[in-house]
Amino acid sequence: MDMSQYLGMFIEEAKDHIQSLNDNMLKLEENPEDLQLINEIFRSAHTLKGMAGTMGFVNMQKLTHAMENVLAAARDGKLRINSNIMDVLFKTVDALEEYLDVIVATGTEGSEQNLQLVNSLNGILGRPQEEMVASAKKATAQLEYDEFVIRAIERAYSQGFNVYKFDVELDPNCLLKSARAYLVFKAVEELGEIINSKPPVQDIEDEKFDFEFSITIVSKEPLEKIRERILSISEIREAKGIEVKVGDVKVEGTQQEVSRTEEVQSTEAVKVVREQKQEGLQRTSKTVRVDIERLDVLMNLVSELIIIKSRIEGFAKKYNDRQYEESIEYLERITTSLHDAVMKVRMVPVERVFSRFPRMMRDLARELGKEFELVMSGEDTEVDRTIVDELGDPLIHLLRNAADHGIEEPEERVKNGKPRSGLIKLSAYHDGNNVVIEVEDDGKGIDIEKVKKKAIEKGLLKEDQLDLSEQEIIDFLFLPSFSTKDKVTNLSGRGVGLDVVKTKIEQLGGMIEVKTEKGKGTKFVIRLPLTLAIIQALLVTVKDEIYAIPIASIKEIIDVARDDIKVVQKGKEIIMLRNQVIPIKYLHKIVGLEADLDKKKYTVVIVKRGEKLTGIVVDKLLGQQDIVIKSLGKYLEGIRLVSGATILGDGSVAMILDPNMLSV
Amino acid sequence: MEQYLIFRLADEYYGLLVSFIENIEKMMPITRVPNTKEYIKGVVNLRGEIVPVIDLREKIGVRKEEFGEETRILIVNWKNEFKVGLIIDEVLDVVYLTKEDFDSATRDRNEFTFSIAKYNDMLINIINLEDVLFEKVEEV
């Protein structure tokens, strides 16, 4: 069977399971006795095993199987979780992740067998022992049925039917055990009726059996015929059949108390599984996994619709017909709702990115020999998928930064009257049309003097330029190849600096700020738009060119008399607005046109970049509009000032100004 | 034997491998993009797609100011990575050129052409698209 069509689904789901393994194992590390957690972890491992098996990823399947055994032992109270076992389990999850990476890259799991890991997992259990237990169980289980089945057997005999019991053994190389078992069931049911199976059907469907199972059937056919029918199914190694006589059977549990309790336990396990199944069923019926490319197509179509809508709106002004206007308004409402709906479909919680950090920070704390706790909040904050996908790297960098540069050694913290263990907070929340993500630590803060010294060293700052504000000095940190770190650790020297973080955030149309206080800590604040595709913009003109400025970055629009523009510090033009000094720039000059300065009054658009305000002089305001952001393409990549283009209602193109660059 | 589009820039003839060319468009409104090289005239709206446009005459250095009735934009596709429009003065023909048509004496490459081909008395400068699209190292 060609499974490649399911590969994407497998990857997505496997990612989810690995993530939940990581999450739950972190929690388990805190509460090693928590049975519910062990159960969760077991279920994830179990599902993963089944999935890997179905896809034919044998090595991955073997590894998860070994892991599952350990977890099963822990679940059944035969094994106590300790830190050694946790380490092996974490390593196993890492190895699974590697498998998945290889699968993503190549479509196959590769040849790595991780034998050592499998051995350590088996070693935890003393594996051969376990096999002995299994075979002992088999021996006592023979010909024991519950009363219900015994009555069925009796009835079958009275009606002239035969009762057979078959022990079916699957080929050890068989990949889809449950599917094989299902085929056996189906084949047998053509010839008779199955009244009992061991393990129970549910367990067989869940692949909760090794390579053997037994079924008891009622049939009029001779034993040999049924046996042949079973053996005709491929990958069945053996099917041993015996005829069951009424006198041979006995009621289960009459002999041994143990087996009864075992039976109870296993039915309980089945119940849990069933409940979970139903939950899963409900969820799948409500949600659908959609390929992101399809969503992109949908988004593009909505964009086109919005463009054509603006165009029709343009016509409407000409005709001045009431009915026409009403229909346009209706169209407007529908496009807006459609846009919102498509946007919502594309929204995913930032949890997708956040969820991998606890594990990362645990490893980091060990690596650095520091003590700190990661507290996350707002994981359910939703952002457009395209942004979420890009967030990982900048956040990893900032978190590493906080752990490595921010948090002090435990002794130093105690000396300074702080709790021994540091605190790193990662939080996300919505703020209007933005999503804000903060990375905060309670460490030593950024050493302004040190940054200053370094800036002078690098020739970025002259000794006499002492009037720079703290904020301006901190901004140096975002310059390429600026590192205040004295010693190179494992973490630094990756060639990634804060400048890369900043570039990435700005590429996403966002910005980043730092707030720091010596001895108290540092906070990085990232502000991002909710979506990259469609934004509200103000259209302005200079000369005969139209430009779009994203509304999100506009603070206000004012008219300024020419006389109110003052010149300070060698030709810098400023205005005073409510006692705040705001530098003025002319859009004409910025985009390389001649400015017409002979006016009495200027229209000034005040754009904000963090707390920094800049006034941009434009000729005329055309109004506010939904615009669809289109990339300028790879050939024009990297043009500063312009963040993209948009198509206006009349089909002409307008540049979208990058507000981050306007205020530079 | 490969197919070339033959076109005119000012009073010279040029050829470009047809396989690069996706479309030939009539002149359309171009929106200037600030902060770019002068020969990049801006971008056009090609049925919903934003495509940068280069004035090939300026880029190659055969300057001619006006766009005429015959002016066309060749939409070229660079390895499926991006599309660029090249403004040319007039499309003349699509021809097959064989190795024998290329003048071996002119094989030493100058800036933008790598060879000259002869076709019916016409001398055709064969354009190396890569040189046209990308700044050369020494220019940077």
- List, run by run, the mean pLDDT of 10-residue segments along chain A (664 residues): 73 87 86 85 88 85 88 84 84 88 83 83 66 39 67 78 84 75 81 81 75 83 83 80 74 45 40 42 58 80 80 74 84 86 84 86 84 89 83 88 86 87 90 85 84 76 69 77 50 56 80 86 87 80 90 88 82 85 88 78 86 86 83 80 84 86 72
Residue-level pLDDT at B52: 93
Cβ burial of A337 (10 Å; 0-12, 13-18, 19+) is: exposed
- Residues in A touching B42 (Cβ below 8 Å): 653
Domain membership flag for residue B139: no
Nearest CA in chain B to A630: B50
Q: Is A96 on the interface with B (CB under 8 A)?
A: no
Domains delineated in chain A: 3-125 (1.20.120.160), 146-248 (3.30.70.1110), 348-483+494-529 (3.30.565.10), 534-663 (2.40.50.180)
Task: Count Cβ–Cβ pairs < 8 Å, chain A vs chain B.
Answer: 66
Domain membership flag for residue B137: no
The C-alpha of A635 sits at a distance from chain B's nearest C-alpha, in angstroms, of: 6
Q: Is A587 on the interface with B (CB under 8 A)?
A: no
Residue-level pLDDT at A176: 74
What's the total number of domains in chain B?
Answer: 1
DSSP A97-121: HHHHHHHHHHSS--S---HHHHHHH
| Closest CB from A631, A640, A652 relative to B45 | A652
Domain membership flag for residue B14: yes
Domain membership flag for residue B138: no
Rg (CA), chain B: 15
Average pLDDT of the residues of chain B: 81
Test A651 with B45 for CB contact under 8 angstroms.
yes
Test A640 with B35 for CB contact under 8 angstroms.
yes
CA A355 – CA A380 distance, rounded (Å): 11
Domain membership flag for residue B75: yes
How wide is the angle at C-alpha A236 spanned by C-alphas A234 and A241, nearest 5°? 130
Nearest CA in chain B to A635: B82
Q: Which two tokens stand for residue B45?
A: 């709206």
CA A143 – CA A124 distance, rounded (Å): 34
Best residue in B45, B51, B81 to probe A by mutation, most A CBs within 10 Å?
B45
- Residues in B touching A655 (Cβ below 8 Å): 31, 33-34
Q: What's B38's domain CATH number? A: 2.40.50.180
Q: What range defines the domain where residue B13 resides?
A: 2-132
Nearest CA in chain B to A307: B48
Domain membership flag for residue B26: yes
Under 8 Å between Cβ of A504 and A393: yes
Test A642 with B34 for CB contact under 8 angstroms.
yes
Length, in residues, of chain A:
664
Test B36 with A545 for CB contact under 8 angstroms.
no
Helices H, strands E: what count in chain B? 2, 10
Test A633 with B34 for CB contact under 8 angstroms.
no
Residue-level pLDDT at B67: 80
Test A635 with B36 for CB contact under 8 angstroms.
no
Locate tokens 């934004």: which residue? A535
Q: Which two tokens stand for residue A199?
A: 């393990």
- Residues in A touching B32 (Cβ below 8 Å): 545
What's the N-to-C CA distance of chain B in angstroms? 36
Q: Give this prediction's pTM.
A: 0.51
Closest listed residue to residue A508, CA positions, set A664, A658, A294: A658
Strand, coil or helix: A505 = helix
Strand, coil or helix: A453 = helix
Under 8 Å between Cβ of B124 and B14: yes
Domain membership flag for residue B12: yes
B108-140 pLDDT, tens per residue?
555 555 677 777 778 888 887 887 888 654 333
ipTM above 0.90, yes or no: no
